[in-house]
Amino acid sequence: MQMNAQYQQRMQWFHRARFGMFIHYGLFSIPAHGEWSMFHDRVPLDEYDALADRFLPAPDAARHWVKMAKAAGMKYAVLTARHHEGFCLYDSAYSRFSSVHRGCGRDIVAEFVAACREEGIRAGLYYSLMDWRFPGYFNYKTDLKSAQAMKRQCHDQVIELMSNYGKIDLLWYDGYWLNHEGNSGDGFWDGEALNARVRALQPDIIINNRAGTQEDIDTPEQVVRHSERGRAWESCMTIGDLWGYTRHCNTYKPTAFLLRHLVDAASGEGNFLLNVGPMPDGTICPAEQERLLSMGRWLKVNGAAVYDSRAANLLPSPLGIWTQDEHYTYFNVTLWCGSTLSLPLIDGEALEATLLSTGGQVELSRGTNGRLIFSGMPEDPPDPYINTIRIRFAQKPARRPEPDPAAWLLGKA
């Protein structure tokens, strides 16, 4: 897929970034069993509304999120300005169901955007098109008045978010469907017209593909699925089970898995948007903090293999993941084999190799079937998660073709 120069220009920071923080925070953080609790529990509007007066994020909550994102090696963050529950974390002229009119009486989006700018990371805003508080969301075929009021709120609020908070780097739409039915939102939201207005206000903004138009990035969810080369994409994923805070989650993904997802995304020129669901006061829970800090430590040593990565034209391996940048090729070992590693079908002159986790040089030799053999490495993996070998080739290496798929049997591939 060829994209125009303007698109390439707009996407540059995104490709450099590779790793971002998703922040699901709202009234749902208080009952603490996920961001869909209002619907799943069928909590009536007046009962759910009472939560707004208990919405009391700590004064430094936004700064805490952004500092934690930086410590994790993340280069941007996306905050739920308004999730499906309809509660705005900002000062909306179209709703008093907000953190400014209720609870803490503060504009959390303003605090978040300011913290991003002061800490030097890019600011994204998540906005749910749909809003459970409108009966027309559920009865969209019959309660047209309510459905149209919900759509009007959507357009008005997106425009006020794009107008009142300075430069916004990423607009992350969600909740495109109606009555929880797949593509029922088709032709309802006028995403094309809305995004034309958004781009007039924010000419450099990146917009995702969840308002009924393709826009700039694909958004696979809870999976790392590569888009075709040239099309930017971003996999979003939870650390625990759900996106909003859950008090007793016992299925937090291991750091090794999260790093593997990040490197896998980087290998396909995609981004990884890893989610935190802050506790009621805005604090990121210890289990999520622990994983974020571990990932940050790994990226401090091996980040060159991820940031601004490009896909490598080399044979995929069950032992690790290939990534590339302008100067080097990286083999990110996910399954350590001991002091020696042999990778086949590699055309290109390898000049030198370094094991980033130790800084030590790796000996190189060649075998049949295009095998590049790394040796002289530690018997046990120096890094507990992923050990990255940085290789300098005379020219970009390429996967050796196999016109005769059986040739390797006789060492003739």
Residues near ligand FHN (CB under 6 A) are 35-36, 174, 221, 236, 243
Q: How far is the CB of 242 from ligand FHN (least distance, A)?
A: 8
Q: How far is the CB of 88 from ligand FHN (least distance, A)?
A: 15
Decide whether 90 or 330 has the Cβ nearer to ligand FHN.
90
Decide whether 185 or 381 has the Cβ nearer to ligand FHN.
185
Decide whether 26 or 348 has the Cβ nearer to ligand FHN.
26
CA–CA distance, 280 with 31 (Å, rounded to integer): 8
At residue 253, what are phi and psi to the nearest 5 degrees? -65, 140
Cα dist. 188→81, 185, 300, 327 in Å? 22, 5, 45, 47
Decide whether 221 or 402 has the Cβ nearer to ligand FHN.
221
> Please, which residues bridge with residue 236 across strands?
221, 273
Decide whether 174 or 216 has the Cβ nearer to ligand FHN.
174
Q: How far is the CB of 33 from ligand FHN (least distance, A)?
A: 13
CA–CA distance, 255 with 236 (Å, rounded to integer): 16
Decide whether 35 or 264 has the Cβ nearer to ligand FHN.
35
Q: What is the largest CA-CA distance in the chain?
A: 75
Decide whether 142 or 214 has the Cβ nearer to ligand FHN.
214
Q: How far is the CB of 28 from ligand FHN (least distance, A)?
A: 9
* Closest C-alpha to 189, from 136, 121, 251, 119: 136
Q: How far is the CB of 176 from ligand FHN (least distance, A)?
A: 9
Q: How far is the CB of 154 from ligand FHN (least distance, A)?
A: 15
CA–CA distance, 402 with 161 (Å, rounded to integer): 54
Decide whether 79 or 341 has the Cβ nearer to ligand FHN.
79
Decide whether 131 or 174 has the Cβ nearer to ligand FHN.
174
CA–CA distance, 190 with 213 (Å, rounded to integer): 9
Cα dist. 127→11, 66, 81, 155, 163 in Å? 20, 19, 6, 11, 14
> End-to-end alpha-carbon separation of the chain, Å?
32
Q: How far is the CB of 27 from ligand FHN (least distance, A)?
A: 13
Cβ count within 10 A of residue 149: 15
CA–CA distance, 321 with 71 (Å, rounded to integer): 24
Q: How far is the CB of 253 from ligand FHN (least distance, A)?
A: 15
CA 278 to chain centre: 16
Cα dist. 75→135, 169, 181, 273 in Å? 39, 12, 34, 10
Q: How far is the CB of 24 from ligand FHN (least distance, A)?
A: 6
Q: How far is the CB of 90 from ligand FHN (least distance, A)?
A: 17
Decide whether 24 or 390 has the Cβ nearer to ligand FHN.
24
Contact 242, 34 (CB under 8 A): yes
Q: In what order do the strands lie in the sheet with 387-393?
A: 320-324, 329-333, 387-393, 350-355, 360-361
CA–CA distance, 390 with 399 (Å, rounded to integer): 17
CA–CA distance, 30 with 349 (Å, rounded to integer): 58
Q: In what order do the strands lie in the sheet with 271-276?
A: 206-207, 170-174, 122-128, 76-82, 19-23, 271-276, 232-238, 217-218
